[in-house]
Amino acid sequence: MAAKKIIGAVLGLGITFGFCVFVYAITNNKVVIGYNQNYEPTQPIPYSHALHAGKLGLNCKYCHTTAEISRHASVPPLNVCMNCHLTVRQVNGKDSPYIAQLVDAYMNDKPVQWQKVNLLPDHVKFNHAPHIKAGKQCQECHGPVETMDRVKQYQSFSMGYCVNCHRRPENNAPTNCSTCHY
């Protein structure tokens, strides 16, 4: 009996210790758990941020209107695209098949299945609003999107990545576990 209790206690301590080491490791970027960095899915229509946000200089918030006020920075509905593409149909003097695809989707009410690029696991709470309110630029977390033809996940979004920024004194952001976990 006594031997079993001792073995149980040792095992319990071992597991607790192991968990603490694990938490230390992920919090300090010793182990990076962030599976999605550089993920760059092909989109159903080759929409280019380099063209629209770079060359044409459109503001990010022209399309991602809810970043300031909500958890999600919504992807725009097609009528936002049609502000221009009701008339813009050509690229370099030639009809663009991709704009034709966009117009077809709009006219026939077929949603475009944009592939999600940035993805956090369900157990993590993230919200755009407090970051934008604190003056963080989109590029800090998403990189130079205005130079990307195709968007990719720029940062690891590992726990260490988030916590390191929260810890910087000028940010005054909370670091207790319940800030980011349910």
State the minimum distance, in angstroms, from the CB of residue 42 to ligand HEC: 10
* Nearer to ligand HEC (CB atom), residue 8 or residue 24: 24
Task: Determine if 175 is a binding residue for ligand HEC (CB under 6 A).
Answer: yes
Which member of 25, 31, 58, 103 binds ligand HEC (CB under 6 A)?
58
Number of residues that bind ligand HEC (CB under 6 A): 76
> Which residues ranging from 108 to 167 are in contact with ligand HEC (CB under 6 A)?
114, 116-121, 124-128, 130-132, 134, 136, 138, 140-142, 145-146, 151, 157-159, 162-163, 165-166
* Nearer to ligand HEC (CB atom), residue 29 or residue 114: 114
| Secondary structure class of 30 (helix, strand, coil) | coil
Dihedral sign (CA 166, 169, 173, 175)? positive
CB 39 within 8 A of CB 152: yes
* Nearer to ligand HEC (CB atom), residue 1 or residue 108: 108
CB 74 within 8 A of CB 66: yes
* Nearer to ligand HEC (CB atom), residue 11 or residue 91: 91
Which member of 84, 86, 100, 107 binds ligand HEC (CB under 6 A)?
84
CB 124 within 8 A of CB 180: yes
List, in sequence order, every beta strand (DSSP E) within 71-173: 90-91, 94-95
Closest CA to 99 of 113, 117, 78, 119: 78
| Secondary structure class of 95 (helix, strand, coil) | strand
State the minimum distance, in angstroms, from the CB of residue 39 to ligand HEC: 9
Q: Rounded to whole angstroms, how far apart are CA atoms 71 and 74? A: 9
Q: Rounded to whole angstroms, how far apart are CA atoms 69 and 131? A: 10
Q: Single out the segment in contact with ligand HEC by CB under 6 A; choices: 1-9, 10-18, 46-54.
A: 46-54
Q: Single out the segment in contact with ligand HEC by CB under 6 A; choices: 1-9, 10-18, 29-37.
A: 29-37
